[in-house]
Chains A and B, each alone.
Chain A
Amino acid sequence: GNSVTQMEGPVTLSEEAFLTINCTYTATGYPSLFWYVQYPGEGLQLLLKATKADDKGSNKGFEATYRKETTSFHLEKGSVQVSDSAVYFCALSGGTGNQFYFGTGTSLTVIP
């Protein structure tokens, strides 16, 4: 079946530090992969996505590359800011009816 395994948090970083949040997946077929961000008290916002192998999604300085050989979609940012503090969810889509499968979420806190 489909599933997503995400690095557990919480993660605390100093401003301008490098960020990596690991995400690996199990899927049948050819899923699309997503990273969503959730700020406190809000819903999910799409951060970036990749729809096929070797695609790189990028947005707001965040990047993730769809690696079919390692079934991974790790999120990276070269220099985090305080405003990046949020919960990040890795997800895949591709089941019947385009259901989404979410990872458990990784809480990121960036301190000045």
Chain B
Amino acid sequence: GAVVSQHPSRVICKSGTSVKIECRSLDFQATTMFWYRQFPKQSLMLMATSNEGSKATYEQGVEKDKFLINHASLTLSTLTVTSAHPEDSSFYICSALSLAGDWPDYNEQFFGPGTRLTVL
């Protein structure tokens, strides 16, 4: 249980196009989802916190107009990289937090498998 999926797992796109990445909690409801970016051989950098039904909260230095986040339901959040450029190439990982008091453990984030974005 407590599975988080991401789609697609890999995507290659041309510079200037937009790419949408989906994050789904498959067997639990997630009021909050997080989006991270990971550079090669580096740690995860939190990009934004996504709450169902409200605007995402972006970390300092993350362009909200470039990385559009929509938390449409309690099981789905999407990250759209708009007008992608080669420097946006990275590994994007989402995680989901369960509703308070519900299974699974409220105080634990469950991570998706990641999406490898390559912008040519």
Binding site for B on A (CB under 8 A): 32, 34, 36, 41-46, 49, 51, 89, 93, 97-100, 102-105, 107
Contact = CB atoms under 8 A, between A and B. Distances in A.
B interface SS class: strand
Given A42-B114, A43-B113, A97 B41 contact: no
A100 B46 contact: yes
A98 B32 contact: yes
Interface of B: 6, 32, 34, 41-44, 46, 49, 51, 57, 93, 95, 97, 107-114, 116
Contacts of B46: 99-100
A70 B59 CA distance: 30
B117 to A, nearest CB: 14
Given A42-B114, A98-B32, A99-B34, A93 B109 contact: yes
Contacts of A100: 34, 46, 95, 109
Nearest to B49: A97
